[in-house]
Amino acid sequence: MSRELNVYLCGNKTGVLRENELMQLSFQYCSDKVQPLSVRLPARMEEYPNALAAPFFENLTPEGEIFEILAKAHVSGNKVYSILDRFGSDCAGAVAFYETEPNANDDTLHEIPTSKMAQIIDNLPQDPLLTSLKNPPRLSLAGAQSKFAVYKLDNRYYRSTDKYPTTHIIKITNKRFPNLLENELFCMRLAQVMQLGVPDVELKSAKDRQYIEIQRYDRKINGNGVTCGIVHRIHQEDFCQALGIVSNKKYQAGGGAGLKDCFKVIEEFSDNKLTDFTRFMEWIIFNYLIGNTDSHAKNISLLHTNGGIKLAPFYDLLSTEIYPEKIVDHGMAMLINGKGKYASLKSADFMVLFEQLGLNATNMMKTVKSRFSGIVSKAKDLRRSLNFADGSVCDDIIAIIKKRTNVLS
């Protein structure tokens, strides 16, 4: 049996996602004048077949174990189609999926009180998309970590609805990676202090369950008047989507995207090329400095703003190298000068990378060095201001940054 889902972008119907009898996907725009879903899928009347359409949609679903839990419980037919059918009214960016149309007239707000937050956090590993809740939100976010998202207004959390999509992502602790929240908070805040362009992140707790609350940069919420609380979605796509590849190609080691591929996306599609070339280099160097080997093609995105396409704020910045190799692979997501371990890199390898990307290597090196020259003292100041206990992971991260700035200088 074949099935169809209406695909909305920024609240307007943009096309139809189809699953055929062979469980293959295809996508057709309503018109060749609409805003496209992806730089890889320009608006046209001709239907996009599975090979071209499927990667965009697959990259909207959760990954790994979470994908499998969902697929087992909620799938008949194509797994991606079924997950988007069941959960796809609130995804990364401005895309949403409906069998009919959104219920934008329902004004009801369903508050999530602190005790409920604690319960959700406890259940999240087994119930990744909160399906055990009464009226669960239809929410699908990529990534392998346990997370959910909420609509936040006046310091209260609400379950998202068609009218009130989520504004904040909530990430919880993970037994495999001790102090993960402190780690991500510190790295994201350090990037903020270094003015790299990142969303606000706060460490919070519900009862005694810690979590981090990350502001969504792909949502804008009105702050006053009769429209107070109305959320506008801003479209984004990650670099796997922009490259037309599925999520298991997010690592270069798995035959997937490398830095040159990502650079070409910026070269071809950014309307803000010069700034974005520099921001991309800053992303690469910052990940090196903090020891984030997990900087893969789904951890960087393009934002489709009214003013054009540009690199989105950075997210998912954390140090993976503070964990021993038996817990996390220290192989880099994307190679630099053919090398796959940060520990083996010299400053000359970055010069080669800049040359390979067609940049003026000497100038870029100068820019990057001066950009990060104060990072150690800023990291120490930040660590003090955060008031974490002695022996915090921040100290391990600062030690890595110190070592790495010496290699670069």
Ligand X SMILES: Nc1ncnc2c1ncn2[C@@H]1O[C@H](COP(=O)(O)OP(=O)(O)OP(=O)(O)O)[C@@H](O)[C@H]1O
What is the set of active-site residues?
Answer: 294
Please report where in the chains the tokens 């955060």 appear, as a residue.
Answer: 386
- 141 lines the binding site for ligand X (CB under 6 A): yes
Q: Which stretch binds ligand X (CB under 6 A): 153-161, 252-260, 292-300, 384-392?
A: 292-300
- 145 lines the binding site for ligand X (CB under 6 A): yes
Residue 189 contacts which entry, ligand X, Mg ion, none (Cβ below 5-8 A, type-dependent): none
**Minimum distance from residue 93 beta carbon to ligand X (Å):** 7
- 37 lines the binding site for ligand X (CB under 6 A): no
- 90 lines the binding site for ligand X (CB under 6 A): no
Give Cα 89 distance to the centre of its chain.
17
Residue 169 contacts which entry, Mg ion, ligand X, none (Cβ below 5-8 A, type-dependent): ligand X
- 301 lines the binding site for ligand X (CB under 6 A): yes
DSSP 349-381: HHHHHHHHTTS-HHHHHHHHHHHTTTHHHHHHH
Which two structure tokens, joined as six digits, stand for 91? 């995804």
**Minimum distance from residue 282 beta carbon to ligand X (Å):** 18
- 143 lines the binding site for ligand X (CB under 6 A): yes
Q: Would you say 305 and 311 are in contact if contact means Cβ atoms under 8 Å apart?
A: no
Please give the Cα distance from 146 to 62 (Å, whole number): 9
Residue window 229-258: x/- pattern of binding to ligand X, with contact defined by CB under 6 A: ---------x--------------------
Q: Would you say 178 and 184 are in contact if contact means Cβ atoms under 8 Å apart?
A: no
Residue window 337-376: x/- pattern of binding to ligand X, with contact defined by CB under 6 A: ----------------------------------------
Q: Which stretch binds ligand X (CB under 6 A): 117-125, 144-152, 280-288, 374-382?
A: 144-152
Q: Would you say 287 and 252 are in contact if contact means Cβ atoms under 8 Å apart?
A: no
26: Cβ–Cβ under 8 A, 6 or more apart, which residues? 17, 18, 20, 47, 48, 49, 50, 53
Q: Which stretch binds ligand X (CB under 6 A): 273-281, 297-305, 344-352, 375-383?
A: 297-305
**Minimum distance from residue 142 beta carbon to ligand X (Å):** 4
**Minimum distance from residue 141 beta carbon to ligand X (Å):** 5
Binder among 298, 304, 310, 404 for ligand X (CB under 6 A): 298
Which residues make up the interface to Mg ion (CB under 5 A)? Answer: 143, 299, 316
**Minimum distance from residue 112 beta carbon to ligand X (Å):** 19
Closest residue to Mg ion: CB criterion: 316
Beta bridge partners of 336: 339
**What is the helix (H) or strand (E) element at residue 51, kind and residue range?**
helix 50-58
- 299 lines the binding site for ligand X (CB under 6 A): yes
**Minimum distance from residue 212 beta carbon to ligand X (Å):** 10
Which two structure tokens, joined as six digits, stand for 61? 């679903």
Residue 157 contacts which entry, ligand X, Mg ion, none (Cβ below 5-8 A, type-dependent): none
Binder among 7, 142, 212, 400 for ligand X (CB under 6 A): 142
Binder among 27, 87, 286, 315 for ligand X (CB under 6 A): 315
Q: Which stretch binds ligand X (CB under 6 A): 30-38, 111-119, 136-144, 202-210?
A: 136-144
Helices (H) and strands (E) in the chain, counts: 12, 17
What part of residues 194-223 is at the interface with ligand X (CB under 6 A)?
A: 199, 214, 216-218
- 144 lines the binding site for ligand X (CB under 6 A): yes
Contact set with ligand X (CB under 6 A): 63, 92, 141-145, 147, 169, 199, 214, 216-218, 238, 294, 298-299, 301, 315-316
